[in-house]
Structure 1
Amino acid sequence: MPWLASADHTVNFHRRSVRDAFGAEVACTIPLPHPSIRCQVVTAKSFRATCAYEQPEEIGLCFLWTAAVANSSPTDLSLDPRVVRLLDEFANIFESPTGVVLDRSISHEIILKAGAVSPKGRIYRMSEEELEVLRAQLDDLLAKGWICPSSSPYGAPVLFVRKKNKDLRLCIDYCKLNAQIVKNAGPLPRIDDLLERLGGAKYFSKLDLKSGYHQISIRPNDRYKSAFKTRYGHFEWAGMPFGLTNAPTTFQAAMTNEFRAMLDQFVLVYLDDILVYSRSLEDHMGHLRRKELLAFVHVLKRWRHFLLGQNQFRWVTDNNPLVFYKTQDTVNSTIARWMAFIDQFDFFPDHIPGKSNRFVDALSRRPDHCTAVYSTFEIDDDLRNSFIRDYQADPEFRDKYANCSSPNPAPSHYRIQEGYLLVHTRGKDLLCVLSDPHLRTRLLGEFHDAPATEHFGVNRTIGRLRKRFWWPDLLSNVTRYRESCEVCQRCKSRNHRPYGELRSLPVPLRRREAIAMDITGPFPKHKTGVDGILTVVDRLTKFAMFLPCRYHAKAPELAEVLYAGWIRTKGYPKEIVCDRDTRFMSDFWLALIKRWGSSLKPSSARHPQTDGQMERAHQTAQVLLRTLIRPDQKDWVERLPDVELAYNSSIHPAIGMSPFEFEHGSLVTSPLDTITPRTAESDDHLLFVRRMQELFVKARDQIAKTQQRMSQQANRQRLPCPFRADDLVWVSAAEFSLEQDISRKLLPKWMGPWPIVAPAGDAPEGPSFTIQVPGHLPVYPVFHDSKLALCMPAEHDDFPGRRSQDPPSMDGFQEVGDIISQ
């Protein structure tokens, strides 16, 4: 009224306008009654909540059209096109959280005091309204993956607190648990310090996180402590809940770590409230975008060794303004430094809208935190009608169904109940399953693949099925389903005898013609610098030399040790058997072997049994050293000559004599020979040659008999090799190196399946095969047949409609299931 009385204006309520005496529209400006009163926009929702909470008896409403006062600077930026464009570009971040607990470097820990025991308590009684709200909120939390069923000894009760708008807020009474938790001294920011940072700023953007606490994960080992119990079940938190001691400290630490590079520059963080402040609108727009550009800088730093200096690559982003990051008129020093770093790389930016860039969106989500989809098997009306209808046409059950449906049925174990055909066997009435392959496959999947059954074996799967269902080929169907299950083949051990029969190496024709060598250690470092033993054994005479060397010596140094210790006195061998040590397979060693006129016979990769006599020589030498060395183990090098003499002078079971006698034609002379009479031996060289020939024939015969006996004993516990070229096989996971933070106990037992390229040797039956292993796996692709298992893929016609095998294949490639965008 004061404003209307100040001038004679014409008010037209029908057209909602105010005009002066000349007919021009006049802006309606009303001064505030008091500086403490502020204008604000009241939404319908908040207005309704205020009315419901305060319940006023009388309400006066006034609808005004506001206009900016002349010569005043606008303060409402909600209609600024730059702000609108910014909000549209980042509209996806304002969506409600999907429930996925993000992978952050900080997770919440619940550390209990010494001697703490799980608190006891009972659930609180609730009204019907509270129970209805409780059920709805539990369903929502389960669907989002923030809670999961629990069997924890902990269990805090839940209660409800009425909000200002009369809604119910779910609260968990963690009082007893909080009294046992060790307090974290992590600080929260001081409010007065935060306010001082805002001096000189004119533009502000406030971000309030929605369900921010729940997006911080609880350490898996501590989740059971957060359990709470309700009338509808026992649950524990995967995301951090409200009410726990140290929860604000953990959340503040996570927010500080997330915005560390921006804090006190243009960002303030207090728990789940984020404030972005700037002196100008241009700077403010850049500050709000800076997180996106910083993410690209982190990617370039992480993959710098792959991207720098390579061919031009493509940078795809759903943030269109980032594509034009070089066209900004003014940039601050931080962004200028980032741009200088980015300019080192050769790339071209490309924009794809977020809704179209589905592949990157899928890869950015953690599958281990996605809500699991549990399949349930239910007999609905359509399936019920299909059962009843198809019984009459099923070749296996139509006669039995017709007999039970007749007015005077013949005696049998079958009967009809509510349209279903039941058979009485094993003291139970079991449902007869139609001979429909899709239906039986669905049942087999529910009782073998479902999360509640967890891929048990044939006996347990049949035990579960026979409690409810029956069909004639149940045992054979379950057996074939289990044998063709890709998850079971990958994750379970094989209980059969190992593949590959024992094949002995051919017996050499002459002494010193073929040798075997290997390095053992490391041992305590000797004063001479050596800490290993290079063992060399003549494969015919079994004569051995134990040469001290450095365990990690390079290939040239090992060649010098071999030359000085063996070749200098025994000559160049024709064949050298060794393992696939990188030094023995190096270019230097291969060139040296070629120069000597020898040939290298490396053993199968990761299969030391190929050269069993060398492994046995190592064991014998180590046993002899244990009996001779001092407790401080510093004289093991000085004892090696004694070990070598004792080894070579003892009877070797493979040749039936001592290696020394086979090598030199006479026994080792010992101190006892000086006090016992000895038979004079003839100096005739013909007799010596004849004796050497006799020893040679005796040794070869003994070696042949020993090899035959060992092969017969070993092959009783082995199976013939079933693998051939082009077969699909699994490879033992123990043959591959581990990634960081991966437990071998939890790894699948097998990797693959991959095809066999060809046998590694001349024989088509192995025993070693070259496997087509993906190139990104750093492993030698030749494997012994004992490291392989035959893959048994299921035929599509056997089990139609079979569910996808989970987990996905580990071969580095993914099969295309459906093309969702081009």
Structure 2
Amino acid sequence: MEPAKTLIDSGSSRNFIDQDYVTQRNIPTKELSTRKSVIAIDGREIKDAIAKETELNIEVEGKTLKCKLYVMPLGDTEIILGKDWLDEAEPVIAWKNLTITYKDSIIGKASREEPLIPQEFADFIDLFQEEGFRELPPHREGFDSESEALEKYIEQELKDGKIQKSQSSMAAPCFYVNKADGGLRLVVDYRKLNAITKPFRFPMPVQTELLEQLKGAKIFTKMDVRWGFNNIRIRKGDEWKTAFRSKLGTYETNVMPFGVINGPAYFQAWMNDIFKDLLGVTMVVYMDDILVFSKTREDHVKHVREVLRRLRTNHLFLKPHKCHFFTTETSFIGIVISPEGISMEKEKVKAILEWKAPTTVKQVQAFLGLAGFYRRWVENFSNKEEQAFQSIKEAITKEPVLIHPDPEKPYILETDASGVALGAVLSQKGEDGRLHPIAYLSQSFTPPQKNYDTYDKELLAIVQALEHWRLMLEGTKIPVTVYTDHRNLQYWQEAKTREDVRKTRRPIRRSDHGDSPMEPQVMIPPEKFVGFMADVKTSFLDERIKQREITTLGPKGVPEIRYQRGVLEYDGKIYIPDDRDLRIEILQRFHDSPIAGHQGHARTLELISREYYWPGLKAQVNRYVDTCEVCQRSKGYKQAVPHKALPIPERPWEDIAYDFIVKLPESKGYDSILTVIDRFSRQAHFIPCHESTNAEQLAEIFIKEVWKLHGTPRTTVSDRGPTFNSQFLRALYKGLKIEPRFSTAFHPETDGISERTNQWIEGFLRTFCNYQQDDWTKWLPIAEFCHNNHVNSATGQTAFETVSTINERKNEEIWDEAKASMEFHKALDKQGREFKVGDKVWLLLTNLSTRRPSKKLDNRKGGPFTITEKISSHAYRLDLPKTIRVHNVFHVNLLSPVTEDKDFQRRQIKPPPIITEEGEEEYEVDHVVNWEWRNGKPYYQIRWKGYDPIEDTMERADKFAGMPDVLEDLRKRLPGAPMPNDSQVKTKTNKQRGHRPIKQDGKTRR
């Protein structure tokens, strides 16, 4: 069995094992006849805490004993060996270094040879001996009077004078950890002290900056300062703050211990002060690690001697076994350094290769931390999910050599940006004449940066890269060449850059270092893409298609055209190629969906133009909207009427209009809608309510849904209904200084905004609500968003934009444009309509009734029907199905022309009936629309596949007993609908004998 985290506790009377540890390893246990209680370390009694026990052979430092252990939760500890084990094992514990031996053991220890110090530095031999270090260091002046109380790890030996007995009222706990050289280090838990200590602010060296200073170095010497923090004295009188408690008593330190919050920063500041004129010239220092570098051995001797001299002056000593002199390759802060460049340590490469796939959160976090640390060696490193665990391991362990930067050679900077991240590669040409990487940069965009347009993202990538490598690039006298695939940035003048940065466009490049992290391969298999953008990208996979589209847009080299991330962009918008299905899908998304809301020409065009472009977009949008059958069915006329302008509002929500839409089918307990509209921005709120709402309830709804968002209006416009014109509301208006205005009796056009908005919301709901019309409340939030997200023809903005940023144009200008638009459409409406025999028309259903609960949410028009005879210029005869039992001659005002869908072919062609062997006609059932009881028997309203709603028929439910698919669909659509008595029979198909006396293609269905 693998090693377990074990605590040897002389205060524990028994041996214990953790309950989770037993469960995870399937260790057999035995139930106790009587549960046992436990006395915790704080004296509390935990009753009946132990119910099981187990027996295991436990090996500690070579000695194996069979032990009985009680099973209970132990937290982070897996096994506790108490008095039972101590009595039997009789271990000898060396408290100084926490080692365990036994009386029958013979322990030997090999002597350590004195390390060889090069002859050139023999006169500094005292720096490599422990005797001098054992002397108490002198008091050293601090850098900040408020930050001098710094504590860290401690040397426990009293004879060195670095700790002393303490009477402090506070003391931290301590424990031991292993050091790299095999020794033990005392660690004190100073977290509570750190929490109330003012931090000492000093920037720690960045690894990349340290390594970039080694350019041109050929020979290295590495030195390690002995017990770095312990070389700083604690300010007199502050020693009590560093107190720690142990089994031998409470002590406090005279030198800075390990573990205090300000230790690293203070020690680094002190080391930087000692070697301030040598840093980056002949040496770098990170905490207690010193690296001296030179180009020749002669220079190196001088450089090392100067470092040693300053160490002696400041009473600092070294660990000889950690010092390496005159090497051409050495490891410094985890990186292997050589004249050729930098790479990873072999041990770390091996550890990564042997790393097992993580199975816990902590293991995942550990590996992510490792990968983040070594991201400098991994090209294309980003947070993309497709970077699988094994791929990361392989990339990290490739051991690429990043060359040292040379300020005498030109730098090449390559940048790129995508929608979510930026990437950059800094390179120089090596002696072989090829580009070699110096470093890579990958960085995700912040949420605000993701909203930048493409130009700004590309520019940001350049600025971030120049800033990231500023120290290197500012030190060169040769212009830096920046490669980017954005043509406009070739004339870059916006960023504050130096004159020695030269920009060059490299279109759709393939880097010498592999593909840019931001650029996908052109020939990616289509199946790799998912969703709509995949269709856009796959349309460009053929290079010939891409070139054809560029030629179509204009001459090669036009700045607005660019190809990136697998799509073509034109003037900052995604260009949609000449792909009929793709363009129709966009039209459907931005016109037919509930979020789009079946809007008109201008609003649909505006929605699409926010993201996409293709030649002839406007004309195609107009044709698509005109031929939309849903719009033709559900939208009525807009009659032109003279208008009298109300006073023009000056700001959003100071002048509002509101009205009720009543007598709707009940939906979640509501039967009406309160519409509240801002006359300035046209922003609206649609609030479900009840037809019985009185003035007090209206005021409560207004405060809850409108006032909390927009405050108190200056004026209101409404009809003269009793709810709006009550004494209560008039008194409320007077108290709030609100001026109410009321529409003329029997002339609701006075409040035109409310009437038009009511018509719009009714049209939206009749388009999307179900046949029973009992789900309209769920569509109100979507309708409100759709209404407020469309650009208003007068303001030129969406309601959202107008409310958040008041339009800069004058209100009079907006109103003039609105009046001009009204006059234009009024002139159109004056043109008369005339039809001829054979034309297809829509019939306004004003005088016809359907089975749907509410006429307000029913289709405005039925059809299309064919004109069979022109009675006069004002009357026409229509070919109606026999299910419509009305006179078939209609006034021209009830008819509107059908705009046939020739381009998009959305309308389903009515399928001809199937003629059976018996000569009967059969039609296919689409679904059951509704049901009702007739003479105690259920009847279904059937929608026939390919036929209009007006041609629905009522059929007996028992006819569909053998159609399981139809009945299963009915259960989902109408959970409360009755089923046929013999609904389990599964012998028929979804074909049902025609039972409808209506005409189709000259044939009569029976």
Give the TM-score of the pair, scaled to structure 1. 0.22
1 or 2, which has the higher strand percentage?
2
* Higher helix fraction (1 or 2): 1
Q: Which has the higher contact order (CA 8 A, sep 6+)?
A: 1
